[in-house]
Amino acid sequence: MRALLALLLMTASVAAWADSTMPAAELADTQLRDPKQEAKAVALMETLRCVVCQGQSIADSDAEIAGDMRAMVRERIQKGESPEQIRAWMVERYGEWVSYKPGFSAGTAPLWIAPLLLLAGGIWLARGRLRTRKKN
């Protein structure tokens, strides 16, 4: 019981130091006026990884830095930058890691090739099975 309480208190303090007293940036949670620009911004936000809560996109995350990243994305889209320009800017700073849309490189090749290999293997196995069944 006491251990549980201690654990609860610990999680509370972690949440406490993660937040500033400042309100979210203007465009963090406010849509852009132009629905086309907003759609572009949202599509990009859904494929950028939050740098603190690492399993979430910045569109999903409640972390303050994710809010600041959303505000930055919207500001730049509003200024006429393309989503891919903004993605490249983020990748330049945080590495491929920050993007949920991996490109094709030596490092990411297994990611793209493995499913094809597995599918080919599956077809080959199934073919063998079907053949033996026919013989019976």
Partner 1 sequence: MKRTILWVPLALFGLFFGIVAYGLINPADRTIESKMIGKPLPQFALPAAYDGRPALASADFGKGEPRLLNVFASWCLPCIAEAPVLEGMAKQGVPIDAIAIRDKPEDVAAFLRRNGNPYQRIGSDVKSSVQLAMGSSGVPETFVIDGKGVIRYQHVGDIRPEHVPTILEELRKAR
Contact footprint for partner 1 (CB under 8 A): 13, 16-17, 19-22, 25, 51-52, 54, 64-65, 68-69, 71-72, 90-95, 97
As measured in angstroms, the least distance from the Cβ of 54 to partner 1 is 6
Is the CB of 35 or the CB of 95 nearer to partner 1?
Answer: 95
Contact 70, 86 (CB under 8 A): no
Contact 59, 53 (CB under 8 A): no
Query: 3-state class of 104 per DSSP?
Result: coil
Query: What Cα–Cα distance (Å) separates residue 99 from each residue in 14, 25, 32, 121?
Result: 26, 22, 22, 30
What b/e sequence results for 123-133 when a residue is b if at least 16 CB atoms lie within 10 Å of its CB, and e otherwise? Answer: eeeeeeeeeee
Is the CB of 35 or the CB of 122 nearer to partner 1?
Answer: 122
As measured in angstroms, the least distance from the Cβ of 56 to partner 1 is 13
As measured in angstroms, the least distance from the Cβ of 1 to partner 1 is 26
Is the CB of 2 or the CB of 93 nearer to partner 1?
Answer: 93
As measured in angstroms, the least distance from the Cβ of 65 to partner 1 is 6
Query: What Cα–Cα distance (Å) separates residue 125 from each residue in 106, 128, 133?
Result: 29, 5, 13
Is the CB of 22 or the CB of 130 nearer to partner 1?
Answer: 22
